[in-house]
Chains A and B, each alone.
Chain A
Amino acid sequence: MAISRDSSADARVDVLVLGAGPAGLAAATAAVHAGARVTVVDAGPTPGGQYWRHPPGSSPPGIGQHPTTRVYRMLAETVRARTRYLSGHDVWAVERDDDGFAAHTVHEGAEVTVHARRLVLATGAHDRSLPFPGWDLPGVYSAGGAQSLWKGHRVTIGPRVAVGGTGPFLLPVAADLAAHGARVVGVFEANHPRSWSRHLPAVTSSVGTFLRGAGHVATLSRHRVRPRVRHAVVAAHGDDHVEAVTVVRLTPEWTVVPGSSRVVECDAVAVGWGFTPRLELPLALGCTTRLGADGSLVVRVDDHQATDVTGVYAAGEVCGVGGAALAVVEGELAGLAAAGARAVPDRDRLARLLGRRAQLRRFAQAIHEVYPVRPGWLSWLRPDTLVCRCEEVTVATVTNAVHELGATDARSVKLLTRAGMGWCQGRMCGTGVAALAGAEAGTAATPHAFAERPVATPIPLGLLGRVEKPPLQPGPAPVPSHNRKDRPL
């Protein structure tokens, strides 16, 4: 077992940025230019996060064409050259210490602790998943998981792929798959973007982002894929792998239009229902949260991206899912603020950033209003549908916990059924369990129940306990595979 090490010998830095996606890179760059000493900690192998994910040794996808590649290059080069950039470091805990903050990370089997006076939390978001019959079959992926496999490993999830869910993110996922050899058997958008007309001012102000969406539609059209609206993948079928999915037409409230059900053969399915901000670290620090426009819990920040914990700033999807362009703006604001007195206040720059942030937030708000998750999805579930795959908890078990055992919210359902207590710690099942618990109990969904995870990433007891002598006995047998759903959804 490797021995823990502490980076305190390296002297405390001014600003520690957690996350190297668009928000984190922008924050680090802004702070460096403002004269701060900066460390960037990220779990990924290369800077870029999910949006600019690419295999080590290559460039982000679409280089030369993608309008943001120039931004990426500039930010990543600054971070590489002028900050202490720690890739492959998983933060398992963050806490206050005597003179600021300590982030405890796991890196290649050892523990590395980084100290800093101020923090920028740019930890992004993970896919929001909803349960459906058959979602535990191999071949079912989250939309983000499918995209990560392509962006990070140049792997498509199957020769014939169905894409479903809601939101503009489905289009680039489907377009990437179609452009790289997969046959996309359908793109099924559960909402109807017709309601965009109500949001024209927000759209016209962010026309670039909107046009990229149109570009993906064109790519799909070249591959003879026409996205279907008010349609959904409501079940996956197969013995030990996906062989087909059930596709239905939806009413505006997402119940199934009678007689509309059909079975579509495919080898894989990618489903996405938006994103859930990663709030483990902000919550561990005591940052105040609020309910965002998409029903997710998000960090509350001010004009400088400051949370209500002194010295802690947040930027990007943790403050509300809004895409890479907004994340870059928020990151720049957070980096400037975290650099503190060193940053010469430049009123024009600040005004420009705040204006841009407001504009992009309006656009994000419009997206959330056009692509919400509507309650009718609960009607797709059957009593034997798994809602929590790690602990194999069914819909019937949750229903029983509410009606027989008196559970009234997501936390009491979790305590009485183990839903959300397994390997994924509610990252996959939290939204579904909270919605189901709320619907059964007649109470509002409580996303808080699954957001708090004081151990942000698994850590071996020997490492945690700083037990320096290796154990004499061999480690235990591996966990039974059915309990370990750590493959991408």
Chain B
Amino acid sequence: MCHIAPVPAAPDVVVIGAGVVGAACAWHAARAGLRVTVVDRGPVASGTTGAGEGNILVSDKPAGPELELALLSARLWSDLAAELGGFEHHDKGGLVVAASESAHQNLLDTGLGQQAAGVTATPVAPDDLPGYEPHLAGDLAGGMYYPQDAQVQPMLAAARMLADARGHGGAELRTGVQVTGLLRDGERVVGVDTTSGSIPAAAVVNAAGTWGGQVAELAGVHLPVLPRRGFVLVTEPVPVLVRHKVYAAEYVSDVASADAGLHTSPVVEGTDAGPILIGSSRERVGFDRSMPAEILRTLAAAAVRLFPVLARVNVIRAYRGFRPYCPDHLPVIGPDPRAPGLWHACGHEGAGVCLAAATGHVIAASLAGRSTEVDLVPFRPERFG
């Protein structure tokens, strides 16, 4: 028997993007037996993942294809937490509250549709709200409790999946490497050109998040992914004041809005380390990194409106991120018939962390030629024309 030094084989798949979606694609693909190389122009989780809150929400999604994906994802995140762990996964549950009777009615109507789709949603009467959140304002019209809502630390989640894909799946991670073009064989995409040489591969996955449209452009195809800016306030560490993921019912309609102008709705949650995270704002202003005080004020006021106890808690930090926004608020997931060999897994807007696990799962199935657990037609890349 003779031994031949292994020649580094070309990977089966190149994943562009080491954020949480790219990491999930790599993890599931490696798990499916594919040789994977992940490239990112920056460090691990340095884009929108590094600016995320780590929401895994079914509560904010009305019945429809995104909810179906979220339900699969919530289950897969729990499985991943049991198997890998180390990324602060908490089945903490979400509590959506309504200040007005009309918002309360909308909440109940949305809940009915969600229940029909398989979501556990429990109406909470005003008198029962303190049982869920003792520090909540006393004058709310009611709420809805969603036990399937969960939270992860998204940067750790991405890093752990990548580490496991490298350690057990033989995947390769190349950070600080920018994709400059796609290798073509006729129409087919057969790898990537990078600032550190070309990487041939049978398939390429575009998991470039908010920059996914630019990667698509390299393939000559159009994806209308636009940045939607958001801010998060971070408080000093405090003892547990907020137990669940708590947000106002208006959040759902804000997320669904197509308006480029500013929308804010309070989202409040505690973290393992003690600080409370306060979102959320959304506006389409390109990649403008300025941080207007007025938006921070609006977030602070809304959080204090929900939790008056927070009035005396200090904000010590604020950060911004740019969500990958698509005009119909649905992500782009699946093979691109306009550029065979190219798969997309981007454009998840504010639900990237939530939908990452399911996205990775269905991308890996699709790459392997298997049927996917969720119908990908609503997410098809060519839908924008």
**Contact (A406, B135) CB under 8 Å given A460-B312, A464-B296, A475-B313:** no
Does A454 reach chain B (CB closer than 8 Å)? yes
A422 at the interface (CB under 8 A from B): yes
Q: Which residues of B contact A81 (CB under 8 A)?
A: none
**A371 CA to B145 CA in the complex, in Å?**
60
B152 within 8 A of A: no
- Select the residue from A102, A423, A465, A472 with max chain B CB neighbours within 10 A: A465
Q: Which residues of B contact A295 (CB under 8 A)?
A: none
State whether A461 touches B310 (Cβ < 8 A): yes
Q: Is the CB of A455 within 8 A of B163?
A: no
Inter-chain contacts of A460 with B (CB < 8 A): 311-315
A119 to chain B, nearest CB (A): 15
Q: Given A406-B163, A454-B291, answer yes or no on A475-B312 (Cβ-Cβ < 8 Å).
A: yes
Q: Which of A43-51, A319-327, A476-484 binds B?
A: A476-484
DSSP class of B's interface residues: helix, strand, loop or mixed? mixed
Taking a contact as CB atoms under 8 Å apart, the answer to whether A458 and B316 are in contact is yes
The verdict on B369 contacting chain A, using a C-beta distance below 8 Å, is no
Q: With A415-B155, A476-B309 given, is the CB distance from A423 to B297 under 8 Å?
A: no
Interface code B124-151, partner A: CB below 8 Å = 1, 0 otherwise? 0000000000010010000000000000
Partner among A405, A409, A464, A477 whose Cβ is within 8 Å of the Cβ of B159 = A405
Given known A408-B175, A471-B304, contact A455–B309 (CB-CB < 8 A): no
Tell me how far the C-beta of A108 lies from the nearest C-beta in chain B, rounded to whole angstroms: 15
Contact between A412 and B311, CB atoms less than 8 A apart: no
Chain A residues positioned under 8 Å from B293 (CB to CB):
93, 95, 102, 104
Find A461's partner among B43, B44, B160, B300 (CB 8 Å cutoff). Answer: B300
Q: State whether B160 touches A405 (Cβ < 8 A).
A: yes
Check A407 for interface membership: any CB of B closer than 8 A: yes
Asked whether any CB of chain B lies closer than 8 Å to the CB of A350, the reply is no
A461 to B275, CA, bound (A): 13
Chain B: minimal CB distance from A424 (Å): 9
Instruction: Give the number of residues in A that approach B within 8 Å (Cβ atoms).
Output: 49
Give bound CA distance, A483 to B275, whole Å: 11
A404 lies within 8 A of B45 (CB): no
Asked if B364 is an interface residue, CB under 8 A from chain A, the answer is no
**A467, B297: Cα distance in complex, Å:** 9
Query: Which residue of the partner chain B has the closest CB to A474?
Result: B309
Q: Which of A251-285 contact B (CB under 8 A)?
A: 284
- Judge whether A57 is part of the interface by a CB distance below 8 angstroms: no
Interface string of B33-49 (1 = CB under 8 A from A): 00000000001111000
Q: Is B317 an interface residue (CB 8 A)?
A: yes
Contact of A406 among B162, B308, B318 (CB under 8 A): B162
**Contacting pair B236 A458 (CB below 8 A):** yes
**Closest A residue to B301 using CB positions:** A465
Cα distance A284–B159 in the bound complex, in angstroms: 29
Answer whether residue B319 sits at the interface, using C-beta atoms and an 8 A cutoff: yes
> How many residues on the B side are at the interface (Cβ–Cβ under 8 A)?
58
Tell whether A415 pairs with B50 under 8 Å between CB atoms, given A406-B163, A421-B317, A467-B304: yes
Do A473 and B44 have beta carbons less than 8 Å apart?
A: no
B residues in contact with A104, CB < 8 Å: 293
Report whether B44 and A407 are in contact in the complex, using a CB–CB cutoff of 8 Å. yes
Instruction: Chain A residues near B236: list those with CB within 8 A.
Output: 423, 458, 479, 483-484
> Does B14 make an interface contact (CB < 8 A)?
no
A462 within 8 A of B: yes
A418 at interface, CB cutoff 8 A: yes
User: Beyond A406-B175, A461-B235, is A415–B45 a contact (Cβ under 8 Å)?
Assistant: yes
For chain A, residues 388 to 422, give those with C-beta under 8 angstroms from any C-beta of chain B.
391, 401, 404-409, 411-412, 415-416, 418, 421-422
In the bound complex, CA of A425 to CA of B166 (Å): 32
Residues of B within 8 A of A96 (CB): 290
Cα A286 to Cα B237 in complex, Å, equals: 29
B316's contact among A95, A418, A423, by CB below 8 Å, is which? A423
C-alpha spacing A349/B203, complex, angstroms? 68
Rounded to whole angstroms, the CA-CA distance of A466 and B43 in the bound complex is 38
> In chain B, what residue has the closest Cβ to A476?
B238
Contacts of A479 in B (CB 8 A): 236-238, 274
Contact A416 B290 (CB under 8 A): no
A408 in contact with B43 (CB, 8 Å): yes
> When A95-B292, A404-B163, A409-B43 are in contact, do A476 and B317 touch as well, CB less than 8 Å?
no
> What's the Cα separation between A470 and B312 when bound, in Å?
9
Please tell me if B186 contacts chain A, counting CB pairs below 8 Å. no
Once the chains bind, are A471 and B309 in contact (CB under 8 Å)?
yes
> Is the pair A1, B239 in contact by a Cβ cutoff of 8 Å?
no
Interface centre among B291, B309, B311, B319 (most CB of A within 10 A): B311
**Hey, which chain A residues are within 8 Å of B175, CB to CB?**
406, 408
In the complex, the answer to whether A480 meets B237 with C-beta atoms within 8 Å is: yes
Q: Mark B259-301, 1 if CB is under 8 A from A, else 0.
A: 0000000000000011100100000000001111100111111
Do the beta carbons of A405 and B311 come within 8 Å of each other?
no
Selected contact of B317 from candidates A1, A455, A464, A483, CB within 8 Å:
A455
Please tell me if A459 contacts chain B, counting CB pairs below 8 Å.
yes
Q: A93-B293, A406-B163, A467-B311 are in contact. Are A461 and B303 (CB under 8 A)?
A: yes
Judge if B241 is at the interface, Cβ distance under 8 Å.
yes
Minimal Cβ-Cβ distance residue in A for B311 = A462
Give CA–CA (A465, B313) in the complex, Å. 12
Task: Please give me the residue from chain A that is nearest to B156 by CB atom.
Answer: A416
What A residues does B241 contact at CB under 8 A?
476
- Which residues of chain A are near B278, meaning CB under 8 Å? 461
The answer to whether A455 and B318 touch (CB under 8 A), given A408-B43, A408-B44, is yes
Chain B 323-347, CB-CB to A under 8 Å as 1, else 0, gives 0000000000000000000000000
B24 within 8 A of A: no
CA distance A453 to B317 in the complex (A): 7
Taking CB atoms and an 8 Å cut-off, the chain A residues in 419-472 that contact chain B are 421-423, 425, 453-455, 458-462, 464-467, 470-472
Enumerate B150-194 residues with CB–CB distance to A below 8 Å. Answer: 155-156, 159-160, 162-163, 166, 173, 175-176
A residues 59-116 in Cβ contact with B at 8 Å: 93, 95-96, 102, 104
A95 nearest in chain B by CB position: B293
| Given A284-B291, A405-B159: A472 and B46 interface contact (C-beta under 8 Å) | no
Taking CB atoms and an 8 Å cut-off, the chain B residues in 214-258 that contact chain A are 233-239, 241
- For residue B314, which residues in chain A have a CB less than 8 angstroms away from its CB? 458-461
Q: A425-B317, A462-B311, A483-B274 are in contact. Are A407 and B159 (CB under 8 A)?
A: yes
Give me 5 A-to-B residue pairs in the complex whose CB atoms sit less than 8 angstroms apart, sorted by A's number.
A405-B156, A408-B176, A415-B50, A461-B304, A467-B304
- 4 nearest A-B residue pairs (beta carbon): A462-B311, A465-B301, A465-B300, A475-B312
Q: A411-B46, A416-B45 are in contact. List 14 more A-B contacts (CB 8 A).
A: A95-B292, A286-B290, A401-B159, A405-B44, A406-B44, A411-B50, A423-B316, A454-B317, A455-B296, A464-B297, A464-B300, A467-B300, A476-B238, A479-B237
- Residues of B near any A CB (own CB < 8 A): 18, 43-46, 50, 135, 138, 155-156, 159-160, 162-163, 166, 173, 175-176, 233-239, 241, 273-275, 278, 289-293, 296-305, 308-320
